[in-house]
Structures are given as C-alpha cells and as structure tokens.
Amino acid sequence: MDATEQQTVTTPALTASGVQVKIGDKQIIHHADLKLEAGKLVALVGPNGAGKSTLARAIAGIQAISVGDVRWFDKDVAEMKGRELALTRAFVPQRALVPAGVTVRDAVTIGRSVHIRPWQRPGAADREAIDQAMERTGVSVLSERDLTTLSGGEMQRVQIAVALAQNAPVLMADEPTSQLDLGATVSIAKLLRGLADDGYAVLLVVHDLSLAAAVSDEVVVMSDGRSVASGEPLKTLTRERLSEVWGVSASLEVSGDERTALHVAWLEGEDRPVRDAGHSGEDG
C-alpha cells in the first residue's frame, strides 16, 4: 500500500500509548504516548537526553519496549516481522553508515531491496520506484557519486531517497538536520513537509523548535523520558513550557508570512544582570 492509498484509510498510521523502554538497568522511557496519521507531520521535540531517539526507535520496532502498546495501522508492532515493518515504515537514522565504494544509486537500490526477492534483479517497477525516489529528493544528478564524496545535506537527501524507495506509507527521520547548515536544513524541511502534504505520515525527531513549528501539524514534547505535552506547535510550545522543559526564558512566534522565530533571553540569569530588559536574542 503506497502513501496515496493510505489517505483513504481512517485508522491512524501509528498509535503508541504508555510506552516504557528499559535498556540494561536504566529506564530510558518512563511513559510516552504518540499518534501519527496519514498526511500529517508530527515533530518529536525535547532537550538532549529526553528520550526522543529511543522512543522513535522503539515505535519503529528497532528497540524493544518494556511496557506499553505500539500499533501500526492497528497491528501490534511486536507481531510484525522485519519485512512487514519495512513495508510499513521507513526509518532514516541519525547517523547513517557511509561505506566507501557505494554510489548514490546503489544506496537507493538497497532501499528498494524489501520489494526484490533474493538473487532477483530489480524489475521495471523497481527501477521506476528508484528513479522516482531520487528525483523527488533531488539526488538524480548525484547518481554515480560515491557516498563518501557527498556533503551533509546531500547525504541526508540520499538517506531520504533510500527510505522513499521502500514505498512505505510512513517516513520516520531522526534528527535529519542536526549537522546541516541553514540552506540544507531548509531544503530538508521543505522535502519532509511536501511528503506529508502528499499523504505520507511523517515523524520528525528534531531539536530545532523553530523548524518544528514551521513544518509540523503537531508537536510531541519529551522531557525526562516522558511525553509531557502534544498539540499544535504554538499552543504547545508556550513560554511557560519552554521554561519548564528547557529551562530558558523564550517565546516562539510565527509571522503572517509563516516565518518562525525563537526569541531567547540569552544572557538572563541570577548571576548576570540584564543589560537591556527590552531586548531578546533570536534564533531561527
């Protein structure tokens, strides 16, 4: 089932409730809830160490959960095997392996492998899906380039192309813009928003709150291994919540032309006087 077909399905792409994750003796996720629907982009945000990436890996079926319920299109993730999961959701990791001697087209072809039987060569439908994934992400011109020669932004677009080649209705991206410059970040943001507009269910794990507010339909806020709030970005990322969760005096604003800005009182603090009470820093 492709992304456009998923638009007619009323069952949520993903429902996760009461999720707990324990790795060794350490409780990483204490309690987390999350819902994702076709045609929507949900941003999972929170401070470093809040458990965002662990939660994403758990609901993706990569990391085992200790307690809770995770369902993809109403099917328990624990009952889903590797191929079924791959046909349901594509996962773009935070740090992808970049082997030498592998071209961009080779990598995207590997992403298509879930549709190709062992020892079988890609057929016409597979080649078309690979071409479409590369065209959609703007990496067709890089087709014969070795992965090791790519910039960070180019590599992220290739990773998304690999995911799209799976033809899964859900795309999960873990911090895809964390090491990118502004131009590359904007490019990835537009790409992910466009995929959601085309019917994909998109889960974006991200630190940048301005970015989250700009592209998401909903944010889920993680703090100390718990999901503490969810909803529309501006209604959820309030001044009070930014102070409570991130420990900063800040406010998130979106202008009429959909530009986002995170205004931060960078130098405020008990041990440092505020030089100008009417001034705030700006990031994004």
Q: What is the structure's pLDDT at 254?
A: 79
- Over residues 3-20, the pLDDT tens digits come to 444 444 578 999 999 999
Segment (H or E) for 170: strand 170-174
Please give the CATH architecture assigned to the domain spanning 3-283: 3-Layer(aba) Sandwich (3.40)
- Over residues 47-89, the pLDDT tens digits come to 999 999 999 999 999 999 999 999 999 999 999 988 999 999 9
Instruction: Give exposure, 190-211, as e/b (b: 16+ Cβ within 10 Å).
Output: ebbbebbeebbbbbbbbebbbb
What integer is the mean pLDDT of 152-170? Answer: 94
The residues spanned by each domain of the chain are 3-283
Beta-carbon contacts of 109 under 8 Å, excluding residues fewer than 6 positions away, are 122, 126, 130, 165
Rounded Cα gap, residues 99 and 24, in angstroms: 30
What integer is the mean pLDDT of 135-151? Answer: 95
The least confident of 52-66, 149-163, 257-271 is: 257-271
Task: Calculate helix-pair angle for 152-165, 124-137, nearest 10 degrees.
Answer: 150
